[in-house]
Amino acid sequence: MSNDDSLDTPDSMTIIAWSGDLDKLWPTFILASTGAASGMDVTVFFTFWGLFPLVKDDVRITGYDAMTKALAGMNAPGFKKAKLSKLNMGGSGAWMMRKVAEKNKLLPPEDLFAICQEMNVNLWPCQMTMDLLGIKPEQMVDGLGEPVGAATALQKMAKSDINLFI
């Protein structure tokens, strides 16, 4: 009986937010906020391209040399500049998707992210990719957890009922 209950009602979820694409940020933050609203302990571990949306809007470029700066240039920092994973069409696809979302009363990812912060979702940036891509803690939005590594993420995942890679 109690086993059935525990299966029916997961109490923790970890999402590896690897993609910084607009159409993948939506499911990440919809699931994270809904999990928190359902009483789950939710953690989002941001790694690789998933870090760029967390860079403050007023930071123009991140990186420490030509290549990391070029990478940041192709992945403009901040939620507002997130691209679509397909049919981005130089940004017009992303713009249209945001318009359609607004018309359908779907909150933009940056608002859902703010809700996740209010609901105490653990928001963990990946230390290694921050170093690799030259993204400094002070360049990132406030309210994130301390940067952590793969072992910490795995430890959380081992205890989570639901693990997703988005």
Partner 1 sequence: MPDAAKTVDAKGQSCPMPVLMTAKGIKEIDSGQIMLVEATDNGARSDIPAWTTQTGNELVESQEADGVLRFWIRKK
Where on the chain is the footprint of partner 1 (CB under 8 A)?
8-10, 30, 33-34, 36-40, 104-107, 112, 115
> Minimum Å distance from CB 125 to partner 1?
23
In whole angstroms, the minimum distance from the beta carbon of 17 to partner 1 comes to 16
By C-beta, is 3 or 65 nearer to partner 1?
Answer: 3
**Alpha carbon distance 114, 81 (integer Å):** 17
Q: What's the min distance (Å) between Cβ of 9 and partner 1?
A: 5
Radius of gyration of the chain (CA): 16
Q: How far is the CB of 66 from partner 1 (least distance, A)?
A: 41
Report how far apart, in Å, the C-alpha atoms of 79 and of each of 2, 39, 76 are: 42, 26, 9
- The bridge status of strand 41-46 relative to strand 122-125 is parallel
Q: Nearer to partner 1 by C-beta: 86 or 105?
A: 105
Q: Which is nearer to partner 1, 59 or 107 (CB)?
A: 107
Which stretches of the chain are DSSP H helices? 2-8, 22-37, 66-74, 92-103, 109-118, 127-133, 150-158
**Nearer of residues 112 and 148 to partner 1, judged by Cβ:** 112
